[in-house]
Structure 1
Amino acid sequence: MTALNSYVLWFKQIDKEDGALVGGKGANLGEMTGAGFPVPEGFVVTASAYRAHIEENSLGNKIKALLAGLDVEDPLALNRASSAVQAVIEKAPIPKEVESEIFAAYDKLGKDPWVAVRSSATAEDLPEASFAGQQETYLNIKGDSSLLLHVRKAWASLFEPRAIYYRVQKGFDHLKVYLAVPVQRMVQSDVSGIMFTMNPVNNDKKTVVIEAIWGLGENIVQGAVTPDHYEVDKVEQKITLVRRVDQKIEMVKRGEKTFDTKVPRSRVTKRKLSDKQVLEVAKLGKKLQEHYFFPQDITSFKLAPSQLSRLPKSKLIRLPPKPRTAGKS
């Protein structure tokens, strides 16, 4: 368990017991790093840093006033209140001590490296709360000033309309929910994918499901590209299904720009993963499940030319009721 007054912690300093300080995503990144899984290097700007930002800029009362009497069932009012609170948080200066620790950690990653700035919400007294997917992620961030800007934006995303609505519906105090910010070195991938260590369609616990596309992972997360589909028997470590899909567009990064481009003709009809790679990814998934004791939904993995990297988070998935139809949402 890590000291609660730390503003910045490296993944290697964090484990699964640190959720109150670094949120679920941050705790998982630290836990996997400590367990030896291939997680790209990074650090977490902790919930203590967020609290310092709110307290030293006296933002608590301003946020309360902006949200007072808000009818979250009124979309226009909800969006107005959200924008107002986010503007207050983004415009406030980051406390000097917090800023210094962020700069020092970023410098240790190298000379202005490209990083992802993520959000990891936490509430010390609300273990039953789930804040996944309510806050923002920013990719391909570079430079001190841009990093600070996006840390503030991540903090402000704690007051996205959907996040405000959720807390009101659950009866949670807005000022007792905090935000940690994982900052992680970007991996420029040839292949990106997702993996389920249990079949999400029929709840088959023996099957690992892997889906993969060419290029960066945003297109698979957004559903913009139909992925290849692979299934592996995790007991026999044997591939049981391969469904290849032609891919004509991929997302790439060139310099400071990320954009969609045509897949080279030589790769359009090619499988994204070889049998060896499929089994390697499945083996990693099995190890993750064994480590956490629950099925895992790996929301992003990336294959660089010579490396398998696990990005950006792992979340436990509950076994849902068996679906009436065999469709996949």
Structure 2
Amino acid sequence: SPASPGIASGPAKIVQHASEIDKVLEGDVLVAEMTTPDFVPAMKRAVAIVTDRGGRTCHAAIVSRELGIPCVVGTENATRVLKPEQLITVDGSEGKVFEGRIAREEPKIPLVTPRARIRTTTKVYVNLAEPELAERVASRDVDGVGLLRAEFMIAQIGEHPRYMIAQGREAEFVDKLAEGVTTFARAFNPRPVVYRTTDFKTNEYRNLKGGEEYEDVEENPMLGYRGCSRYVKELDVFKLEIEMIKRVRQSYKNLWVMIPFVRTVAELARLVRILKDEGLRSSKDFKLWMMVEVPSNIFLIDEFIDVGIDGISIGSNDLTQLILGIDRDNPKLAEEFDERNEAVMIALEKAIKTSVSRGVTASICGQAPSVYPELTEKLVEWGITSVSVSPDAIETTREIIAKAEGRMASPSMWRRIARTAS
């Protein structure tokens, strides 16, 4: 199925395991059963990506959209049907793979965007993970980074944090992570950069050097030992991230924090206390966001807000799969995975309206707004304060938001837009 638009041709390099990524050279098409964060160095060299498994919210789809390269996922048999070094063309817009070179390659993310800048009250943020893209994307018509993923930078470090702690190399881990995050904070300053603390799952942690010693093999890592639960149970590891955040903020106050996969109110309360004890408390230049991606976040949204968060960001990828009970990486269920499902829409509306009424900002950082323009219009109607999308969707999302605001704008909103523009 289509996962990232564009057309590109190149020789197929079939990678069965992350240990084989060095076989992928500049200009190759990466073909794999599935990708994980440790595939990223090869993904950056590839002109296109094809996978056997996954849907449009899987790792390969998300990273391809960020890198601006074509991607087709959920083919079920690409690693078996395609031959090593076979010249193929990947059409990421149509979700098709052809033999031979059949069309000119489309460019990656443009260096410049010729369109005139549009003013909107609803902010447009971008989802990013690759430090090399920071400067280029920061020059676009974007209000900040609504989702800065830590996982790809940690994958580049390549070693399990607990393995590094055991060797007395905590400072090295902090230094390397701070270097990557500083790149984003500097490029976007003074616009906010919302750093999502690590959301590696156990299978992804196991792929790091030393990981097998510290991680269990879980039947279902998506519902396993991840997110906020890990932080409160492994405080020594989480404090490495806290140290990095504090260090970067010494120079760049535009770095904010977002906590992923929060299951219970008590869990969040404990984490907020930990951050406050470390000097990270809400202020004019520091905001703490919580991702809304577990159904409990919807049912108890008021109670989560009471704990003391400044904003929410809806992780529509995980929220949709948990509301609908659909594995978002299963190609056989790809057609049923739809954020526009009535149950999901009810959840989105409740989260946004409740948050805004409580004076808490509401954002969304899943793939849905990048894919469904009509959903973005609904989000604006419900009062969402920002929408965070992949780099390829920045300008179109701004246009969709401007049209939606134009249809529903009251005179007071137009005055706010005028003040923003002045």
Normalising by structure 1, report the TM-score: 0.32
The alignment's TM-score, normalised by the length of structure 2, stands at 0.26
Relative to its length, the structure with more helix (as a share) is 2
Give the structure with the higher percent strand: 1
